[in-house]
Every structure is written in structure tokens, then in C-alpha cells.
Structure 1
């Protein structure tokens, strides 16, 4: 390890603040590192000559403490998830105190290029630069040509940020700002940087809370916004360092010197105690984090490199070799005791941990220097260690970030658990039928409206969030934490099955043919060229496919003007934008934000953004389902052929995501005969506000009037089917028959997303549950609704070879910014918010990532 430290010693040079305050623009990637200056070296005292000072003035020599927060950002790669435009892009980073003025920016102090960029000469231009006009760092410009393109950046940039005052613990936060700069392809590249500087495309900001400023190692994914969906893999590393301690010669009036001495003496002692405490905390965190990281990635560090005798003393050096997990507390105590005992044979602690009143000024300075040098040594050791184990540390911190999502985002989530009864029955039953009704749920008219209850529950939770104080050590994404009360509230209702009705305890396996069980492993038996071979799963690969099915109503993007929808043409894998102000049909990219989150969780997934029914969602659901089925089967076969050529394909995981009537289309497609061989591979189903039970009971009179007009004036067939007017006999209607089909029971995971604010889809229909209006309806309409409800729930309750997860997710948006307009009155705002926002999808998908892998 020591050899490695010597080879990489040039990385850690240039920590002193004075050498970096005037950072200049760099002209090339091979700029020499800043010269090394020993941190404990003091500035030479000014000359003792009076130089003509008046007799009533004297030179006042006193120690000045100078600390600096070093914030190092490792930028690993730029991944193009869903940029709309080809061209040149560049990342720009600035750091500043959150509540500070223009003079409170961090200064870039050091840049280390870990690896050479992997792009060709035509795809990268210029070099990274430091601009002292705005204290920013910018990567070299790089060219994006296609979707899901990776650009390796592999560089560490460090910023020095001086605190306004030394506090323990700190009370101020720091803002970390990433900007995405864009320029189209230019004929003359000499104007490229000028064009980039004048064309900021998107911004993503993060907050480093006060606790993080004492020490932090965290993953920080940068995504920018919905119209510039990328993934910049970065990690952030923070520590408090001692910049320099030096004597300052100040001219003060001689008659005021005695008074100032007494006042400043107390203040200096207090500041010195706080400084020692802060440096000790920073050192303890570094020691603990180094131990945790080295253990987690299984790359041990030589104890002599961590705690050399000349800095830490023999007792601390030996303590590093204590068994894993027992280091930090003993190391901290031994180190501080050693430091103070060397300065003054006695250590005196008060209730805050430090008491320096018995120590001389020189001893205090020695203590500060000693601890400061320890922190500096540990920090440089970590930077060298990071350079040697970059990818392992990145993977470790990324996994820790993913594991913390459920807890960190739980602020906006409410978890409940309910038991689903065997079967809902009418509230009017005779005596004979009421006997033995155990496990059934009577449909009694609820005393309150479920929509109002859900809305009130979310509103109360939103009010409680406004009163919360965020006081943790994690990096905070300001797109979420910037205004917490504006973020959607998600209520997760985990539905637990009651005991399943069956004639025997093992009815599932007795009724299922053994041939079908074997086929789950062997693969699709039809179409021999695409048959999955029988092999061990350990030696093969799993083909994961997600199909996204849009609805009737389009998603309106307001990039250039309000009310326009943009069609996206796929050219070389990249999506572009063209205006089409007259288009009102669903678009195949409506669910792109959920797709992007899925790709972040599982980058290897193959996705199909269905286009089979684009501009054709006003016809018969049977025709739309048939077109979708053909599109899906063709896509599966193509991907199976590709996977078979590159390895052994063992099985398929086929998932579906539908929005609005797209859910009816995809359920219809599953009933098509050509889909039958693939039903056994169904994995996860996400229904985004889908009218599964139709519009038999819809309380939105304005929306109902719109449906009536569509039926009367345009004769829209799918609207007739949704409102059960496609046949005089309700039991012959399309939707009633669809609920009889086994379209849900093949899925391993079923997630129903709904919103009480969505007026386009009845609340109960999206959640597949009963509603107050049906509870008191004893007509044939009520009976038909009850049958449909039970048929759907029976499929969800159906036995499965694997445990089935069934969740209802209520999403309550903050639509106050929309104001009161037609969209909010008719409930369209929330229906479209499912497509234009992705925070709710982040919360759900990252809280249950195994459902999407």
C-alpha cells in the first residue's frame, strides 16, 4: 500500500487555500498539480519594525484559525437516458453556501483525471476548465449521438469552501449545483464553448446538510429534469480540514489593548475549543468510514498507512488492528488523549468534551496542528485509496443509496395493510345464503366517501410534512427536498389475501398439469426456433421485457408553447421533437418517465413503447388488443433470437405498464390466442389510473357529459364499451366479458395506481374495489358490477407458484400551482400528472425494487 501511496502522491498536492483562491482557466489536461505546502507550517511573522507607527499603537500578535471544507466530487460517467436532441453537452459544477452571498462560493482546487475519455476524437473537444469568474468547474464537451449512450468521464474535482465561522456542529447547508450545457453541432468548433456557455439546458441541485460537512461519502445520481433525462454517476466526499494556523500582526490602539486582550482571550479559547472539537469529529468520521469502506469492498488498508506512529502515536496505530467494527470509538478517544497529553500532561474535559483553560496558547496550537495533520493525512490516504478502488467504492455507495431510498423517501409515503375477503356479496341476502358466509365481505354503504377520506388523509399528512425539520446527514435532492410540501403523497396499501377458496389444501398443484410446470423452465413450446432450451438457470440468462401501453388522452408537453403535444421520431436510437398542435390521441412516449425509472433500476431490461394503437384508440378494444398482441409477440421473438445468439436463454420476465384505457387494451391483448404461450412468463403489472371496472358508477358529471358527446357525435366505440352501452344486455357487454377472462392471475406482482383527484377514471374502478353507489344498488346493474369486481379479485387471489404481491397505491398530487381552471375542475390535471411527473414513480419503484428486476 505504501508503494501505491508514493506513486499516487501527486494527486493530493495543493490542499492549501491560498494557492487556489485565484484558480485560473486551464489550457490543457496535463496541467501540473499545485505545489505542496505543509499544513502546519506557519506564515512568518511580519517584521518587528514600527515603520513609523504612532506611539499610541502597538502590534497585536494573535493566532488566527483557518478551516476549510473540502468537497470532492467524483464524476464517473454520463449516461443518456432520454435526451431529445443530438449535439454537444457539457457538465458545469458550482458549490456555495445555501444562504450566502456572491462571495460564498467554493473554489475548485484540484482536478485529477482517473482515466482517459473513451470517446473518439470526433466526439470530444477541448479540455475540462476552471473558471475563476464564477468559481465553476466544467468537464470537457462531449457529443451525444444516440439513446442510452455512455460517456466515461472518470475525474475527481475538489472544491475548497471556507466557513464563515467555525461551529460544532455546523448549522449552515451547502448547495451543490449541476448544470447541463447544450450546443447543436456546429460547422466551426471554435465557437463551441461560446455556444455552450450561452445555452444552459437544465439544472439539478442538491443540498449538503450541516451534518454532512463534517464528513461524508455518498452516491449522488444527477438526472436533471423530465425533458433532459440522463444519469450522471457521481459520488461526493466531504471532510473538514485545517487550512493554516498563523500569527496575525494587527495594529490596535495601545489604550484599548488591555480590554481587547481580556475579551478576545475568552473568545479565542472558545473558538479554539470548537475548532478542536470539529477537527476531532472530522477525523473520527474519516477513520470510521475508511474502516467501513475497506471492509465492505474487501480491500484492506495497511495500518501503517492509516495511522503512522509519527502522527498518531503507537497506541492509536495498534488500535487500528482491533477487530472489525470496534475501531471508531476507541481510536477517537486514544487519538485525542494522545494529542492533548503531549501538549500538557493533564487532560481536562468539560461536559462538551473539551476544556482548554489549563493549556497555554502554544499547547493549544500544537493540539490543533496535531489533530489537523491527522485529518489531512487520513483525507489524503482516502483519496489515494479511492483512486486505487474507484469502481468498487462507486458500486458500494450506489448500493447503499438504493438501500436507503425506502427510508429516506418514507416522509411522503404512508403504509397500510388490509385483508381482502374471499368474495364481496350483496348487502341483501336471505337467511340461507347468509349462513356460512365467513370470509365474505358484505357491501354495506359506507358512512363516508372513500374519495374524500383518501383526500383528507393525504392532506393531513402533507400538513405534517410542512412542520418537519430535515436533520440528517444524507445528500438531499432539491427537486424533492426543495419544497417538501409540494411533493405527491403516496399511500401504499398492501393487500393480504384471506384464505383461498379451494376443495383441497393443495388444489393448485393437483389441478395444474406437470407438463405446464416443466414448461415454466423449458420455455415456450410453440415456435421451435424461439424455444427456450432446458438448462440450468445458473448458466443462462433471463430476458426481461417491459411493454408500455399508452391511453386515449395524450400527454401535453409544454416545451415551446402551452397546449402542444410533441411527436418523437426515433432516429439512430435518439428521440427528437416535432410540433403537432392538432394531435389529441395517446402517444407511445406518454409513459417514458416510468420507463426511465425502470431503466435506472434495471439497465438490462428491454422495453417496448407500444405504437400499434397510436392514433387508433377510438376504435373497438378487441381490434386494439389484437394489434397490441401481434406487436408484443413480434418484439418477444426478436429479442429471444438476439438473446439466444449471445448466450443460453433460460426464461423470460414479461411485464406490462398501462395508462388509462391502455390497461383495458393490454388486458384484451392477453386474451388473444397468440399470447397464450407467453402468459406463464408474466411478471409485474403496473396499472396507472386504469378504468378496470368501467364507468358504471361515475360521479363526475362534467366528464360524463363529455363521454356522452363522444358517443353521440363521433360514435366512439371504445367509449360505448367503457360505459356498457355497446350491448342492451349488460352481461353481453365487452367489459363484463373481459372481467371473466383470466388476464390478471398470471402476474406475480400487481400494482394499481390511483388518485382521488383524478376525475377521468372512477376511483373505485382504478383500485378494483367496491364503491358507495354500488352498495345500495340492487338492480341488475349492481349485480353485474358485483360480478365483475369478484371476477377481478378472484384472479388476484388465485393460487400461484410464487407469492403474489398486490398493492394499491394512492397518489395525491399538489395541484394548487395549476390554479382553478377547467383541467382541475374536471379532474384532468391529476390524470395527466401521472405522465408529466415522476416523483411518485421514484418513491414506489425504489421502495420495492425487486418487483422491477
Structure 2
């Protein structure tokens, strides 16, 4: 006899936010549900947005063509649910969807002896596809007398028969509670790095019914009598009938109890009877499960009906749970160690890192209750991290702990993300997008002032950055200009050469009014002490070739070749300028596998070759590292703004070996190209940047 459970899966789409979509257009989302290879069948949908307009910075943009676009519907031919179509034209444009669908899934149950196991406890996969159609452009091209570009964008409209194509897909893997077979979970779907948006999704699942029937060959005769008869055969030699009764009624009762909890009902009045003979047991199972299914169906229907009305509050509650679970999961890939501030200039031993990474990767990991299926497909290949937090004796703050309380501040938090050498603001888009996702109250600026001037001197680059930041603050977050040091915060993230440009900008008089607001400085693989003592001869030769190919003044300054004496070089003079000590937090991120920027210069430590080098650049390197960190070490324990230094070291497991992984380029770019690396860094530094 086969036993099957009927699962009802509700996929509710709350809000859509354009973080960094590739192009303007008409968008819609399609959802499909599977368990293993079994496809769920949609049997109902709803669409109840309170407003059809979209919003950009609280400015309403009416959807004038909403009535002409496809509405939300169930696609019977593919067993999918499709949201209504909507137009997205502007960055950070948001709209309320408040749409969803119910899917029914029939899964097999197996008797394990103490409980029923449904579909071997396989997770549910929810596939969400982002579809796009082009907008019709205005008839005449813009000219001097034509409207501005913003007006031309506003004039773009949907065609009468838009043709949609799939541009991105993301699959969520959802684990049911093995006891109740229920799920109530939230996940922010982002789709892809090229079509990065935030689609707030909640998933709800309940076991609604148990069906007992013979094999499919005898399905025509599977009446109630034959089902009871099959139970009698099954239990004929079983003297422990009460346990069997409980085993077959417990899944429904557990699901009913969980549904009642979701509706905040504290009592359920389903009674079971202890019986002894096989025939009575089979009848009791049928009768009690039918009674439970009836009550459960009604309560589940009430719960689903409340989602369009009260789903916002539920989404916020589940969002808090998701954030806590994600921080705990990514925190499991981080090994944090506290170090005395007096050892700030001493490097950590390579063997210490390898031991930490080996222990981290040997720990068993279980994916969260809801996750991105592709991202966590192979946890063993995800990056791991070792953090060393340098503390003073009276520091008690649990900086990297998920349980640490939030810091108190008022006003905006501006995070400036500066790209590196011969790069552009586009290269920082993944880091920017995830920062906006995890820190919705932050304002993120990806400067563009140095995109066409990467080969020049660091001095002018820093001045351009300072003026761009000043102008941005003036127009977007003027509260940072307030004299009150507690009003607002200013943080910087620099990748590769970008960190030196940031340090140069801090010396500009333009940023002087904002220096009291400096909060965090995150350096991603940056040569703070110059590209000296590079262990790879291949990389050294490559830098020499690049220098002769580009004739870059920046590369001369980075290698301290811009002056006859190292003490007169730009990098050496920059190390004497106030820098790290101006921030509340300084995070120096590096990797043993990054040959472009060795770990010692990325984390400003003094390696053994620099200690023993008496005739080369060892003396200049030691002086630069000391200039950078000694002001932090000398800060008073009672100072109002003490700097906490964190050294974060990443370890990668690349899927394949190629030229980029061999020369260290893959590890150098992973900080901004890899979703896993970006999430690990941001979740590790959540208490610093939130």
C-alpha cells in the first residue's frame, strides 16, 4: 500500500527593487515549484497590490500603461505562476507586487518505524525566472532642441504586444521541518550580477492531507473498504496498534499545530483514540486524519487569505530570521582570534592560517532552511576566512559576533567604494549591490572621477576623489556636513590601488569637515607599503613589463621608483600622513593565494625578508609600516575614538586550475567578482558596516 502526502506551497512575492538591472524594460517574474523531479501544480493565485505606481526616493512614478500589460496568471502549459508585467526605468526604483500562488505537490511517504518520511525529506526547489521585454523608444532622436535625456526616458513606453525573454534565473532550495512538514521562510532573490535586483519572497508550506491507496495498478479498486482491508493485512501480525495509529496521524497533527501557531492560535481540539485491533486502527486513522485534514484545510485557507493583507509584517519578521540565520551560517566559515594591540606589526605564521582553514573546512555544515541552490551547491569550495582583531586591554566589544548589539548613531551612513588601477566604477557593482541589500539604510557611492586617469599620479587622483565625495555629500546627504560628530558616518572601501587613492584623498582640505565622521576603512588587497618583497618572480616580471608598456607614474609610485631615494618617494611620504588612526575601524583584507598583492603589504605587517634586508628596500618598508600603524598603537585607552584594527585573511577553493589561479589574479579579483567572497566579507564585517 502506498501512502502519499499532499503539500500546499505558497510563494508570495512582496516587493521588487531595482538595485542594478542591466537595462530599462518591461519585467515580470515566473515561479515554479519542484520536489526532486516531481513538478508541483499551481491551483490558485492572487494579485492585490495597494498601489500600481513605482517609487524612486519616495517620488511616485505612475504606471500609466499598467492596464495594457499582462496581468498575474497561472500558466497551465508549464505549471508556473507569472506575476503581472511592470516597467522599470530608473535605478533604485521600487514597487509593491503583493502577488502569489498556491502549488499542490503530492509526495510519497515511507514508514521509517518511528515516523513517516515524506519524499525522503528532500528539499523543495523554487525556480524564479526574470523575464524582460524591450520598451519602445521615442520616434525622433534627441537633439539640442529636443527634451532632455530624462524626458526621453520618461517617453519610452511598452509596445502593444511585448515579447518577453528570460534574462536571469535563481533557484531557492527550501528545507521543510521534518516534524511538522511546514516552512515559513524569507529570501531576497537577487537573480544575477548583471541583473541585480531585490525581490522579497516568502515561502509557506503545509502538509494538508494524507492519502492511503494501493499501487497504481490497482488504483481503480482503491475504495475506502479496500484501503481499510490493506491496513488490516499490514497490521494483522502487529500487536502494537496504538503506536501505528499515532505514527500515521502524527504528521497531520503536527502540521495542524504548526498552522495554528502561524495563526497565533494556542489550542487545537483534535482527539485521538487508543485502539487495539487492526481493523479499528485503520478506521481510526482514516477518520481522524479526515477530521484533522478538514480543520487544517480551513485554517490554512485563513492563513493564505491573510498573506496579501498582513504579509508585510510577516515578511519583516521572517526577514529578521533570515538575516540571523545567514550571519550564523557565514559566521561558521570565519575563525576569529583576538590579539594584543602591541603585536600589530607582527605577521601571522602561514601554518597558523592553514591550520585554521583546515579546521573550518572539516566542520560539518548544513545549509540554512532557505538558500540559493547554486551558491551553496558545493560548500567545500566556498571561501573561508580567518580574522585577527587587535584589542586593547579594556576593549570588551564582541566585534564580529552575530550577537553583538548595533552601534548607536544618527543620520546617514555613506559608504564610498573606490576602484583600483585601470578599472572603473562598474567593477565595484557586485560589492555595491550586496552592500545595498544587506545595509538598506546605507548610501553607496561608486566614484567615477578616476576612471579615465588611472595611469597618473596618486596625488591628483586623491584630489579628484575628494572633490567627488564632497559634491556627493553636498547634494545627496547634507547631514554629513553637520558639525555634530554623532550625525552621520562616512566609510571607505578600496580595492587594490583604490585604498591608496582613498588615503591620498583624506589629506585633501576638501574632506577636512568630514574627518570627525570617519567610521570604517575596508582595504581589499591593497599595497599599503608598496609592491615590495613580492615572492613570485613571475609577478615581479609582469609588473616590470606593465610599467614599461604603460609608462605609468602610478606604478612608479607603487614600487617607490618615483624618487632617487625611497624616503622621498610618494608612498613613503603618504605613510607619514594621518590615516588609519582617523577611523573607528580599519579592516585589512588579504589572501595567501593573491600573488598580485602579497599578504604582508595588504595587511601592513613586517615580513621576515624586510626585517633582514639591510641594503635594499627593507628599511623603507619597515618605516612605512611603522608610520601607518604606530599612531594606532599609541592611542590612549581613554580616547573618545579608538581605532580597532581587523586583519581578515581569505582562503579560496577554485573550481578549476587555469592561468589566473596560478598567477594569483583570480584571488585578487575575487573580492569584487565572487558572490561568495563578497557575502563572506560583508557578513563577517556586518557589525562594522551596519
Do the aligned residues in 1 keep the contact of 2:339 with 2:388 (CA within 8 Å)? Answer: yes
Alpha-carbon shift at residue 228 of structure 1 (Å)? 0.9
Tell me the SS of whatever aligns to 1:635.
helix
CA separation of 1:457 and 1:91: change in aligned 2, threshold 3 A: same
Counterpart selection for 2:651 from 801, 809, 812: 812
Residue of structure 1 in register with 2:440 after alignment: 603
Do the aligned residues in 1 keep the contact of 2:232 with 2:282 (CA within 8 Å)? Answer: no
Alpha-carbon shift at residue 788 of structure 1 (Å)? 1.8
Tell me the SS of whatever aligns to 2:253.
helix
Residue of structure 1 in register with 2:404 after alignment: none
Q: Give the Cα–Cα distance (whole angstroms) in 2 for the partners of residues 238 and 741 of structure 1.
A: 59
Residue of structure 1 in register with 2:536 after alignment: 700
Q: Which TM-score applies when normalising by structure 2?
A: 0.83
Alpha-carbon shift at residue 653 of structure 1 (Å)? 1.0
Residue of structure 2 in register with 1:191 after alignment: 161
Counterpart selection for 2:610 from 748, 756, 774: 774
Q: Give the Cα–Cα distance (whole angstroms) in 2 for the partners of residues 87 and 768 of structure 1.
A: 47
Residue of structure 1 in register with 2:391 after alignment: 496
Tell me the SS of whatever aligns to 2:669.
helix
Q: Give the Cα–Cα distance (whole angstroms) in 2 for the partners of residues 264 and 602 of structure 1.
A: 57
Alpha-carbon shift at residue 663 of structure 1 (Å)? 0.6
- Residue 134 (str. 1) matches residue 78 (str. 2): yes
Alpha-carbon shift at residue 641 of structure 1 (Å)? 4.7
Alpha-carbon shift at residue 422 of structure 1 (Å)? 5.8
Q: Give the Cα–Cα distance (whole angstroms) in 2 for the partners of residues 726 and 240 of structure 1.
A: 71
Residue of structure 1 in register with 2:177 after alignment: 211
Counterpart selection for 1:662 from 498, 505, 514: 498
Residue of structure 2 in register with 1:475 after alignment: 370
Equivalent residues in 2 for 1:661-810, closer than 5 Å: 661-779=497-615, 781-797=617-633, 798-799=635-636, 800-802=639-641, 804-810=643-649
Do the aligned residues in 2 keep the contact of 1:166 with 1:274 (CA within 8 Å)? Answer: no
Do the aligned residues in 2 keep the contact of 1:601 with 1:852 (CA within 8 Å)? Answer: no
Tell me the SS of whatever aligns to 1:421.
helix
CA separation of 1:274 and 1:722: change in aligned 2, threshold 3 A: same
Counterpart selection for 1:390 from 299, 303, 311: 311
Alpha-carbon shift at residue 75 of structure 1 (Å)? 0.7
Residue of structure 1 in register with 2:380 after alignment: 485
Alpha-carbon shift at residue 123 of structure 1 (Å)? 4.8
Do the aligned residues in 2 keep the contact of 1:546 with 1:656 (CA within 8 Å)? Answer: yes
Counterpart selection for 1:83 from 10, 13, 21: 21
Q: Give the Cα–Cα distance (whole angstroms) in 1 for the partners of residues 467 and 81 of structure 2.
A: 51
Residue of structure 1 in register with 2:464 after alignment: 627
Alpha-carbon shift at residue 178 of structure 1 (Å)? 0.6
- Residue 173 (str. 1) matches residue 123 (str. 2): yes
Q: Of the two, which has the highest radius of gyration?
A: 1
Q: Give the Cα–Cα distance (whole angstroms) in 2 for the partners of residues 249 and 67 of structure 1.
A: 16
Q: Give the Cα–Cα distance (whole angstroms) in 2 for the partners of residues 233 and 664 of structure 1.
A: 37
Do the aligned residues in 2 keep the contact of 1:67 with 1:166 (CA within 8 Å)? Answer: no
CA separation of 1:126 and 1:251: change in aligned 2, threshold 3 A: closer
Count of residue correspondences = 629
- Residue 825 (str. 1) matches residue 671 (str. 2): no
Residue of structure 1 in register with 2:147 after alignment: none
Q: Give the Cα–Cα distance (whole angstroms) in 2 for the partners of residues 471 and 545 of structure 1.
A: 33
Q: Give the Cα–Cα distance (whole angstroms) in 1 for the partners of residues 301 and 391 of structure 2.
A: 53
Residue of structure 2 in register with 1:364 after alignment: 285
Equivalent residues in 2 for 1:401-480, closer than 5 Å: 401-421=322-342, 424=345, 450=350, 454=353, 457-458=356-357, 461-462=360-361, 464=362, 468=364, 470=366, 474-480=369-375
Q: Give the Cα–Cα distance (whole angstroms) in 2 for the partners of residues 643 and 413 of structure 1.
A: 33
Residue of structure 2 in register with 1:113 after alignment: 47
- Residue 276 (str. 1) matches residue 113 (str. 2): no
Q: Give the Cα–Cα distance (whole angstroms) in 1 for the partners of residues 289 and 235 of structure 2.
A: 17
Residue of structure 1 in register with 2:405 after alignment: none
Q: Give the Cα–Cα distance (whole angstroms) in 1 for the partners of residues 453 and 227 of structure 2.
A: 88
Q: Give the Cα–Cα distance (whole angstroms) in 2 for the partners of residues 359 and 657 of structure 1.
A: 70
Counterpart selection for 1:550 from 394, 412, 419: 419
Q: Give the Cα–Cα distance (whole angstroms) in 2 for the partners of residues 455 and 202 of structure 1.
A: 37
CA separation of 1:731 and 1:458: change in aligned 2, threshold 3 A: same
Q: Give the Cα–Cα distance (whole angstroms) in 2 for the partners of residues 406 and 258 of structure 1.
A: 50
Do the aligned residues in 1 keep the contact of 2:3 with 2:213 (CA within 8 Å)? Answer: yes
Q: Give the Cα–Cα distance (whole angstroms) in 1 for the partners of residues 127 and 331 of structure 2.
A: 25
Alpha-carbon shift at residue 67 of structure 1 (Å)? 2.7
Tell me the SS of whatever aligns to 2:135.
coil
Do the aligned residues in 2 keep the contact of 1:74 with 1:156 (CA within 8 Å)? Answer: yes
Do the aligned residues in 2 keep the contact of 1:682 with 1:746 (CA within 8 Å)? Answer: yes
Alpha-carbon shift at residue 147 of structure 1 (Å)? 0.9
Residue of structure 2 in register with 1:568 after alignment: none
Alpha-carbon shift at residue 391 of structure 1 (Å)? 1.6
Q: Which TM-score applies when normalising by structure 1?
A: 0.68
Alpha-carbon shift at residue 768 of structure 1 (Å)? 1.6
Equivalent residues in 2 for 1:11-26, closer than 5 Å: none
Q: Give the Cα–Cα distance (whole angstroms) in 2 for the partners of residues 257 and 455 of structure 1.
A: 60
CA separation of 1:166 and 1:289: change in aligned 2, threshold 3 A: farther
Q: After superposition, what is the alpha-carbon deviation per residue over 1:213-234, rounded to whole angstroms, capped at 9, x for unaligned?
A: 7112111111111111000011
Tell me the SS of whatever aligns to 2:12.
strand
Equivalent residues in 2 for 1:239-388, closer than 5 Å: 239-242=206-209, 250=220, 263-265=233-235, 273-291=246-264, 307=267, 312-313=268-269, 335=270, 339-341=271-273, 346=274, 357=278, 359-388=280-309
Q: Give the Cα–Cα distance (whole angstroms) in 1 for the partners of residues 219 and 26 of structure 2.
A: 52
Residue of structure 2 in register with 1:228 after alignment: 195
Do the aligned residues in 2 keep the contact of 1:653 with 1:681 (CA within 8 Å)? Answer: yes
Residue of structure 2 in register with 1:520 after alignment: none
Alpha-carbon shift at residue 795 of structure 1 (Å)? 3.5
Alpha-carbon shift at residue 649 of structure 1 (Å)? 11
Q: After superposition, what is the alpha-carbon deviation per residue over 1:646-683, rounded to whole angstroms, capped at 9, x for unaligned?
A: xx997231111111111111101101122222111111
Q: Give the Cα–Cα distance (whole angstroms) in 2 for the partners of residues 836 and 712 of structure 1.
A: 28
Q: Give the Cα–Cα distance (whole angstroms) in 2 for the partners of residues 379 and 587 of structure 1.
A: 51
CA separation of 1:161 and 1:423: change in aligned 2, threshold 3 A: closer
Alpha-carbon shift at residue 361 of structure 1 (Å)? 2.9
Do the aligned residues in 1 keep the contact of 2:383 with 2:653 (CA within 8 Å)? Answer: yes
* Runs of at least 5 residues in structure 1 that lack an aligned partner in the other structure: 1-62, 292-302, 314-334, 349-355, 425-440, 501-537, 553-584
User: After alignment, is 660-669 or 274-283 more displaced?
Assistant: 274-283
* Runs of at least 5 residues in structure 2 that lack an aligned partner in the other structure: 54-62, 137-156, 396-407
CA separation of 1:132 and 1:786: change in aligned 2, threshold 3 A: same
Alpha-carbon shift at residue 783 of structure 1 (Å)? 2.9
